[in-house]
Amino acid sequence: MARKTGKSEEYVLSEIELQRLWNECKALDSQIVVGLLVFCGLRVSEAIHLRLEWIRDEEIHIPSQQKCNCAACAKRGYWTPKTSHSVRLVPVPGFMKPLLWEYLKTHPEGLQLSRQAIWYRIQHLATRAKLPHIFPHALRATYATLLASKGLTGPEICAVLGWARITMGEHYVRIAEARGGAREKIKQIWGTKYA
């Protein structure tokens, strides 16, 4: 498995690239993998361990602990999220709700994929979408940047993504502001004909 180089935000997808990736998600399980990472902002570990009982009131309720015997958890016998801040409610976008419900109805134990399987799935879909090298965590960074570009504050982004440090959310707000500001300034320089 190839390793990422650089920071996740260096690999954030534009909305056009994200649409190309989503268009390659023909199978329901691919839609669930990509959707959980980029439209719900779950960590790979959270997506892998998601179960039907996590879905309540149209939100994902990430628990503080869950019995698990997957290869990563077998020694302990349970799974826990990365930090205590990771225990949170995650809103599910409207278009994802029927997909998630359909998948979990027939797979109540979730994806049951390894981290490597998720990595390879993302790489395969990205290659088909003719995207540069991306990796699962870059999709989470894409989610954070999208939230910031739509007006969420640093603390709000932290709450949704399960980060303890407010500076993490503010970092993505600055990235989104820089991208939006740069586009507008270029339009002013060249006009809309060239932008």
Residue 41 falls inside a structural domain: yes
* pLDDT digits 0-9 by tens, 101-147: 999 999 999 998 999 999 999 999 999 999 987 889 999 999 999 99
* pLDDT digits 0-9 by tens, 57-81: 989 999 999 999 888 898 999 999 9
Residue 3 falls inside a structural domain: no
- How many structural domains compose the chain? 1
* pLDDT digits 0-9 by tens, 161-183: 999 888 888 888 888 777 777 76
Residue 153 falls inside a structural domain: yes
**Number of neighbours of residue 134 by Cβ within 10 angstroms:** 23
The CATH number of the domain holding residue 131 is: 1.10.443.10
The Cα 121–Cα 67 span in angstroms is 26
Residue 1 falls inside a structural domain: no
Residue 182: domain span: 9-190
- pTM recorded for the entire structure: 0.85
Residue 4 falls inside a structural domain: no
Residue 174 falls inside a structural domain: yes
